[in-house]
């Protein structure tokens, strides 16, 4: 027999979510080796995100089976009301599995998704939403211009040539182009040739400019636009995420980027914030023996075997 009445029945109103949900996916299985600075990167990412996004938002974090230290930090952030929605997965369900829950469950009309190693600059969110609301039939907007495979934005170019002002040229400055590619572990030498042989497409519509292209690692989109792409059936934890880029292009949706860098990839260290990016050439030379193909192959195989034993 029930004793008394549920106090919740006397509540007349409930909190309404913000129009925008910023969703972040984290995965820090341990804090050593590749992930040694992972928690510091996550902290820097979330702090920069909140500084001056330009629009209000609720933050949702999906933790994909991280270690206790990472979980404790996220729980503390939720208790401090810095995170509005926190999902803690017991195991790694892969990016596809996480996307299925994030993109279906985020309460906002607009979802701004990002991996957990992104550094944000002022107005990153408002500038993204401006493009999203100005251009028609937008699939996704990435808050940084960089050169993406042209095969993934053919529909954008087709639409722009008929309905907007479009120009081809070097609209992404060399320094901006190089900065991002260095963060991916590439060298300046290998990027000189790429920059000379490729170009950008700038699209202008109703007074707003954007660069053709976008990417799955950080994007802003309408939740209703993302729903038809669910569920994602990925057989591996990583390596298949470009299917969102491909499928959006196939559906004729626009894939666009802001015209100047408003996010940056930190990768797995705070080296960029410490000003170490320019030292890559020296480090590469001194560590050249480790890049020797046979040695690198053996070491990576050992690393992968150990990782699978503990976290597979």
**SS3 category, 89:** coil
Task: Write the burial class of residue 29 (CB in 10 Å: 0-12 exposed, 13-18 middle, 19+ buried).
Answer: middle
Element spanning 183, H or E = helix 174-183
Between strands 200-205 and 165-169, the pairing is: antiparallel
pLDDT at 311: 52
* d(C-alpha 12, C-alpha 8), whole Å: 9
Domains, the chain, in order of start with CATH, read: 20-265 (3.90.550.10), 277-304 (no CATH)
Residue 13 pLDDT more than 90? no
Reading phi first (left if > 0) and then psi (alpha if -120 to 50, else beta), residue 267 is in left
pLDDT at 243: 85
Global confidence as pTM: 0.86
pLDDT at 297: 58
Residue 156 pLDDT more than 70? yes
Mean pLDDT comparison of 3-17, 53-67, 279-293, highest-scoring range: 53-67
pLDDT at 57: 98
Q: Which of 26-30, 260-264, 281-285 has the lowest mean pLDDT?
A: 281-285
CB 69 within 8 A of CB 31: yes
Residue 64 pLDDT more than 50? yes
Place 258 in a pLDDT band, splitting at 50, 70 and 90. Answer: very high
**SS3 category, 292:** coil
Residue 288 pLDDT more than 60? no
Rounded to the nearest integer, the mean pLDDT of the chain is 89
């Amino acid at each position: 027999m029930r004793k008394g009445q549920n106090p919740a029945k006397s509540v007349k109103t409930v909190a309404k979510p913000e129009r925008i949900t910023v969703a972040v996916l984290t995965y820090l299985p341990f804090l050593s080796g590749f992930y040694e600075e992972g928690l510091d990167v996550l902290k820097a990412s979330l702090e920069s995100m909140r500084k001056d996004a330009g629009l209000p938002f609720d933050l949702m974090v999906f933790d994909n089976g991280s270690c206790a230290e990472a979980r404790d930090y996220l729980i503390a952030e939720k208790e401090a009301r810095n995170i509005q929605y926190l999902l803690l997965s017991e195991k790694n369900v892969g990016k596809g599995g996480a996307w299925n829950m994030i993109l279906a469950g985020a309460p906002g009309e607009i979802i701004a998704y990002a991996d957990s190693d992104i550094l944000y600059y002022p107005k990153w969110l408002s500038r993204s939403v401006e493009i999203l609301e100005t251009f028609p039939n937008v699939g996704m907007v990435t808050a940084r211009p960089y050169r993406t495979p042209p095969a993934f934005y053919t529909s954008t170019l087709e639409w722009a040539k008929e309905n907007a002002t479009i120009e081809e040229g070097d609209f992404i400055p060399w320094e901006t182009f190089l900065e991002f590619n260095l963060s991916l572990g590439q060298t300046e030498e290998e990027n000189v040739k790429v920059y000379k042989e490729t170009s950008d497409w700038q699209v202008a519509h109703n007074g707003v400019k954007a660069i053709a292209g976008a990417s799955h690692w950080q994007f802003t989109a309408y939740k209703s636009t993302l729903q038809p792409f669910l569920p994602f059936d990925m057989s591996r934890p990583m390596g298949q995420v470009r299917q969102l880029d491909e499928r959006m292009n196939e559906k004729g949706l626009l894939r666009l980027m802001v015209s100047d860098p408003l996010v940056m990839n930190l990768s797995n260290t705070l080296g960029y914030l410490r000003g170490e990016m320019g030292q890559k050439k020296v480090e590469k030379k001194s560590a050249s023996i480790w890049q020797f193909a046979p040695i690198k192959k053996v070491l990576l195989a050992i690393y992968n075997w150990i990782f699978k034993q503990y976290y597979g």
